[in-house]
Structure 1
């Protein structure tokens, strides 16, 4: 497998997924397709001319016009959420210059509006937000939502939705649907809020977005006065919210539950929040408290029980969308082990020793030769690579173990390390470091061992040399797949189902990639995957009685003496 071939696959999959998402969400602005269509055109033209370099040309175009703008947008949003306005503006401009048709010009204006707001220049900020909100794109909708929240125009927002030609069409947008639920709560229509949530507006119109689903759950719980559910959300799946936002919604729940004194005390402190939106909303809460619920609204108890049950289930099984919950000792320990073996490959053998002892080679020349040494079959066999048929080389047990940690070149190592880091952290979050480490080693080593049993067609005249931790990486994918499958057996859940479908797509993609890529052991990948699935199913089966069960502590904000429940 070459870097060129890998880049071809990355570009093709990335552009394909972009087109699917644009059509899926009915984005009618065809101008936004230009970078993707241009990249696909470059890939097809370059591939028709020279297949050996097509990936490099298309990869360069993809990097500049698709990857870099995407990274810039993510960095801009991240800086914006932490109120680093100058950095957010810089990244917005970078994204706009690289992709001027993406609507990022409005993002730069939105950043300025929020900067004005942070300087308490409220009228200027509102005027700019109103101007941006006239744009029919995601940033225009964001500006409209922010303006609505700042001015408390909940009745106006509800009227706008209800009198539109297609209310359900507007509410198909996750952002507008979410703010619609909040507007119902802000105007005291708690019963309608519950009914809207129950009808599936929240679940069906948001696809598999864990973020929007959990934000809606938090708002519903807050307006129903369920402090415990709000705390569980902001301490768990919404734990990345800033502290002021968390305390704002906890205080809202306190008001709704009748604990006005505790809630108002929190809102008084939040009036001096650095987040101007929170400060203004807190002032409004003090002047106009939310509706106090003397009795739980009809249906609220059952829907809250369902939410609590879903949260408990998702904490255990929705591993991809859940926040990290450990230091990932096993994952990084295994990464260090793979890197250590790779360094050993570089310096071992006659070539490695000669290069290390040379006094005439430059550092660049030494590095190049040492990396080439990791692609030498002779060197790998000498270290401990598995050779088929097994009769050709002695010490079979040692070779089965060592070959699970050796790699054929730097690209091979990097791909397996990336898979280990991404997948290993999720498995470790769910199972803990010991069980994750055991599962990885079992998949990596046993998948290699099974290749000595399964006939692969190797002969003395045409031997196979096998190395790599791919069986372990695929095993971790199988662990997640099996574990999520067991979670779906226990309880149907949209987030778990969405993650399960995503993993199935990755498996299908990997299988196609293996079949079309030379010198890749699809048999080893398949064995690792099947062993991992077995481990995942076993973990799911054993989780109720074994240490695999993930402990769910009392939410941190409820452990705060100022927020203890009665």
Structure 2
């Protein structure tokens, strides 16, 4: 596969994948996708040999960099590192000036000023932007209310000025609304709102969903569950913020003395929004939530606790964050070392060099050179072939290793890699192409995709985990796109890829143990 063809497929597939979610995407992203597709189509008409390189560059500039950057900004905001977030957002606004992002750095600057005790200056900045008519204006207004813990005013403003549809469209606005309800003692409405949020299919908003679950566990007095959730899902939270929410959970559980001690210890902070939140909490004590939850709310809370446990087991992000994938990194290192050897011996695209180093040739395997079925999975034809496989191994290898453990992961990797090579040998005898040369870790990498699919399938089928059902859907899309790519790409072993996925599904089904619900 040439770099040009690879970039064409990458641009096309990612654009189509984003368009499938068009109803949830802000208008600015749809414009960016339209520009990228227009450049791609124009490239096909004017200079096909450059279409991938040009459209790929535009794609990186308008989609990849802003998406990665905005995700980083959101993480910095969650960590309350507002100065760094504002600095990064100032650069990103030139790549994605739409959807309120042009003004966002100023809002972050205001938050940073408030955090460092300069509330007056912060309010001056935010007041310049506050309005009910734009997303940025609404965000500024909500921020002003939240900084001073004016929850009653916030709730009244939302109830009188914000239609329900807007609460669904702007997730952060819905979060503010649900917290204001909980702060005023309506925990049942908080839980029902979280359930509606999940039913709307908003799981793409990972940070938002984690925040809502934090609220649920804290305001419902689930201190032990909250501690585990903070350790696993939100380890990057600042220590004072963690202590505030743990104290909230203790208060909601009826442990007033513990809560008061923790909150009082935090009051010396210069972080004025935190100080105001503490003052509100101490002056508006939470009642024992277990006495006020309705039967349906209790069921929602129980489901949230189960979902948190299941996501710690099946969520891609959590798996990557909680386990070091040493075996995956070792395999990547071996592949890179072998590729350097290919270049040193004469070139990674020199067929003679690949043959001498162990490329799979079916007739040689029949002649007794069985070792080629192993050696071939560490050889690659060109830099694009290597990089695409290593990227896939980095992602899906880490996931499989986290779920299976190191030993079972390595068994799966070699079972699918060698097995896919043997499948190529078998099919070659049926098609009379026994002199065909095959190299690459693609079979093993797609074996990891198949294994991850089996893991998620078991999670959905056995544990009834919603997160596993969603991950399984994503794995299915990846498999379909991979097969489509194989059909339109010359010199690709469809047999090796397909057999690797099938063997991965088999290995994952056998080696992964789902937990049966109690």
TM-score, normalising length: structure 1: 0.84
Please tell me whether the aligned partners of residues 217 and 307 of structure 1 are also in contact (alpha carbons under 8 angstroms). yes
For the aligned residue pairs, the C-alpha RMSD in angstroms reads: 2.7
Give, in angstroms, the shift of residue 339 of structure 1.
1.4
Match of 2:100 in 1: 103
CA contact (8 A) 1:174 1:205 kept: no
- Partner Cα separation in structure 2 for residue 458 and residue 426 of structure 1: 36
Matched, 1:471 2:471: no
Q: Distance in 1 between matches of 2:319 and 2:161?
A: 37
CA distance in 1, matches of 2:162, 2:130: 19
Instruction: Render the CA deviation track for 1:137-169: whole Å, top value 9, x for unaligned.
Output: 554444343323223232233334434574254
Specify the alignment match of 2:461 in structure 1.
Answer: 489
Aligned to 1:51: 48
1:108 Cα shift? 1.6
Cα 1:168/1:53, change in 2 over 3 Å: closer
> 1:504: how far off?
0.9
Which residue of 1 is the match for residue 357 of structure 2?
383
CA gap of 1:429–1:136, structure 2 versus 1, over 3 A, is: farther
Contact 2:408/2:511 (<8 A) preserved? no
- Tell me whether 1:25 sits opposite 2:24 in the alignment: yes
8 A contact 2:450–2:500 mirrored in 1: yes
Assess if the C-alpha contact under 8 Å between 1:109 and 1:132 holds in 2.
Answer: no
Match of residue 307, structure 1, among 297, 304, 308: 304
Q: Which moved more, 1:431-440 or 1:174-183?
A: 174-183
Counterparts in 2 of 1:157 and 1:89: CA distance versus 1, 3 Å? closer
Task: Check the 8 A contact 1:4/1:56 in 2, yes or no.
Answer: yes
Segment drifting more, 333-342 vs 288-297: 288-297
Mapped partners of 1:475, 1:319: distance in 2 = 17
Cα 1:146–1:206 shift into 2, 3 Å? farther
Return the match for 2:425 from 449, 452, 474.
452
Match for 1:65 among 37, 40, 62?
62
Match of 1:318 in 2: 315
Name the CA distance, whole Å, in 2 between partners of 1:103 and 1:492: 38
1:248-397 aligned within 5 A: 248-273=244-269, 275-293=271-289, 295=291, 297-299=293-295, 301-320=298-317, 322=319, 324-348=321-345, 351=346, 373-390=347-364, 394-397=367-370
Structure 1 residues 506, 261: CA separation in 2 closer, same or farther (over 3 Å shift)? same
Please report how far the alpha carbon of residue 426 of structure 1 lies from its aligned counterpart in structure 2 after TM superposition. Answer: 1.3
Q: What SS is found at the alignment partner of 2:361? A: strand
SS of residue matched to 1:452? helix
Q: For structure 2, list consecutive stretches of 5 or more residues without a partner in the other structure.
A: none
1:33-44 paired onto structure 2 within 5 Å: 33-44=30-41
Counterpart in the other structure of 1:117: 114
Shift of 1:82: 4.4
1:332-386 deviation per Cα after TM superposition (whole angstroms, max 9, x unaligned): 11111111222222223xx4xxxxxxxxxxxxxxxxxxxxx11111111111111
Match of 1:524 in 2: 496
Distance 1:125 1:527, change over 3 A: same
Question: Take 2:161 and 2:299, find their aligned partners in 1: how far apart are those partners?
Answer: 32
Q: CA deviation at 1:72?
A: 3.5
Partners of 1:77 and 1:301 in 2: how far apart?
31
Cα displacement (A) at 1:513: 0.6
Alignment counterpart, residue 422 of structure 1, candidates 389, 392, 395 = 395
* CA 1:476–1:272: 2 relative to 1, 3 Å: farther
Retained in 2: the 8 A contact 1:93–1:104? no
Deviates more, 1:293-302 or 1:431-440: 293-302
Q: Cα deviation per residue 1:288-325 (whole Å; 9 max; x = unaligned)?
A: 32234473633254443333322222222233454521
1:77-121 Cα deviation digits (max 9, x unpaired): 444444555543332222222333453221121122122213312
Which digits, 9 at most, give the CA deviation of each residue in 1:166-190, with x for residues without a partner? 4254245322222222222110123
Is the CA contact (8 Å cut-off) linking 2:151 and 2:180 kept in structure 1?
A: yes
Match of 1:201 among 192, 196, 200: 196
**Cα offset for 1:61?**
2.1
Specify the alignment match of 1:369 in structure 2. Answer: none
Question: Residue 437 of structure 2: SS of its match in structure 1?
Answer: strand
**C-alpha distance 288-162 of structure 1, shift in aligned 2 (>3 A):** same
Q: Distance in 1 between matches of 2:20 and 2:373?
A: 42
| Residue 431 of structure 1 pairs with residue 404 of structure 2 | yes
CA shift in 2, pair 1:294/1:326, >3 Å: closer
Gaps of 5+ in 1: 352-372, 546-566
2:213 is equivalent to residue 214 of structure 1 = no
**Matched-pair contact (CA < 8 Å) for 2:116–2:271:** no
Which 10-residue stretch deviates more, 401-410 or 121-130?
A: 121-130
- Residue 399 of structure 1 aligns with which residue? 372
Aligned to 2:484: 512
Q: 1:397 to 1:140 in 2, by over 3 A?
A: farther
Secondary structure at 2:378 match in 1 = coil
How far has the Cα of 1:267 moved from its partner? 1.2
Superposition deviation, residue 508 in structure 1: 0.9
Change (3 A) 1:183 1:314: same
Question: What is the distance in 1 between the residues matched to 2:71 and 2:188?
Answer: 37
Q: Give the alignment's TM-score, normalised by structure 2.
A: 0.91
Q: CA deviation at 1:128?
A: 2.4
Separation (CA, whole Å) in 2 of partners of 1:448 and 1:138:
54
Alignment of 1:54-93 (within 5 A): 54-93=51-90
